[in-house]
């Protein structure tokens, strides 16, 4: 089975590529702007016919799109998160119409959700910020394409290599810096009272592998999360304990506008369990151990669990 992974150098893309390469009989190729990609392409700028030429030369059985950005200008978000998937769908339709397309969406597409409830795939999508809006546009391009495609709406991934654009990676970097300066320093964070659904990046990678190789058609959208909402404060203090930080975590009441607009997030993952026979296997503590253990100079985490 030949699988093309776009955006393989990112946080999610790296873990997903590693997981796919472990599949028996899989030939995994990477595509993107990175010099070491098997094929060079850029979904944000390449014309669909140029992308189609790339796909025709590969003849993939599955295409996994991990390309995306979480920050930047509205133009950058639109080019990568909205224009990119639309161009990819046009290229797949022209050059590899029989391929399975797996696209990574985001739970940010839902926007505000009722507190205390799990959000199913059919819930209204009302993103309050450009990131969620552009990710939703990408999802709509995929689901309306007529292709054999599925969008995996991922909640907040945590694990080794988490970028500083998100709280887990940013807090880990700040804890490392503070620990290097003084063991009793202070790390300042924003408001940690909102609730989020955190999922291990290795569980996300396994869901993608199952979606890319599933024998039959899949629903257009599947949630991938832990199915459990926790205060972000719990994650922060869990990482402090994992790091052995003996200083003080100083919380400010001023959080980001995006976080304040969505005080509760929790995915209903019933459909993924039914359609993919998937469920999260890693605990948040294991995710935080992997995140901290992958940091430069930190002790190595315990061996990764062998997933089925």
pLDDT 10s digits, 137-147: 999 999 999 99
pLDDT of residue 278: 98
Is residue 289 scored above 50 in pLDDT? yes
Q: What is the pLDDT of residue 182?
A: 74
Q: Is the pTM of this model over 0.75?
A: yes
Residue 160 pLDDT more than 80?
A: yes
Q: Rounded mean pLDDT of the chain?
A: 92
Which residue in 11, 110, 131, 282 is the catalytic one? 131
pLDDT single digits (tens) 28-85: 999 999 999 999 999 999 999 999 999 999 999 999 999 999 999 999 999 999 999 9
- The yes-or-no verdict on residue 304 having pLDDT over 50 is no
Sign of CA dihedral 167, 173, 179, 185: negative
Q: Which pLDDT score, from 0 to 100, does residue 298 have?
A: 45
Q: pLDDT tens for residues 208-263?
A: 999 999 998 999 999 999 999 999 999 999 999 999 999 999 998 765 555 678 99
Please say if 110 is a catalytic residue.
no
- Confidence at residue 255, expressed as pLDDT on a 0 to 100 scale: 55
pLDDT of residue 254: 64
pLDDT-based confidence at 306, cuts 50/70/90? very low
Q: How far is CA 4 from CA 58, 99, 147, 151, 202, in A?
A: 8, 10, 16, 16, 19
The domains located in the chain, with CATH, are 2-161+199-228+265-281 (3.40.50.720)
Whole-number pLDDT of residue 259: 65
């Amino acid at each position: 089975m030949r699988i093309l992974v776009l955006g393989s150098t990112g946080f999610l893309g790296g873990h997903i590529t590693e997981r796919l390469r472990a599949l028996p009989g899989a030939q995994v190729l990477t595509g993107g702007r990175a010099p070491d990609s098997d094929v060079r392409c850029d979904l944000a700028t390449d014309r669909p016919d140029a992308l189609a030429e790339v796909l025709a030369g590969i003849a993939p059985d599955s295409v996994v799109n991990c390309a995306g950005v979480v920050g930047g200008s509205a133009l950058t978000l639109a080019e990568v998160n909205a224009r990119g998937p639309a161009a990819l769908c046009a290229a797949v339709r022209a050059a590899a119409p029989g391929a399975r397309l797996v696209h990574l969406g985001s739970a940010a597409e839902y926007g505000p959700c009722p507190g205390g409830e799990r959000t199913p795939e059919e819930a209204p999508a009302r993103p309050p910020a450009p990131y969620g809006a552009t990710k939703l546009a990408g999802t709509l391009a995929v689901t309306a394409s007529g292709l054999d495609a599925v969008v995996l709406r991922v909640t907040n991934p945590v694990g080794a290599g988490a970028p500083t654009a998100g709280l887990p990676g940013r807090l880990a970097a700040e804890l490392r810096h503070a620990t290097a300066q003084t063991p009793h320093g202070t790390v300042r964070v924003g408001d940690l009272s909102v609730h989020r659904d955190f999922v291990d990046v290795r569980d996300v990678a396994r869901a993608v592998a199952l979606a890319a190789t599933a024998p039959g058609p899949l629903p257009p959208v599947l949630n991938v999360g832990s199915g459990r909402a926790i205060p972000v404060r719990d994650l922060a203090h869990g990482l402090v304990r994992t790091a052995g930080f003996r200083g003080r975590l100083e919380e400010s009441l001023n959080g980001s506008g995006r976080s304040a607009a969505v005080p509760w997030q929790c995915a209903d993952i019933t459909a993924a369990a039914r359609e993919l026979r998937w469920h999260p296997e890693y605990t948040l503590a294991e995710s935080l151990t992997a995140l901290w253990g992958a940091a430069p100079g930190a002790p190595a985490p315990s061996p990764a669990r062998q997933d089925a």
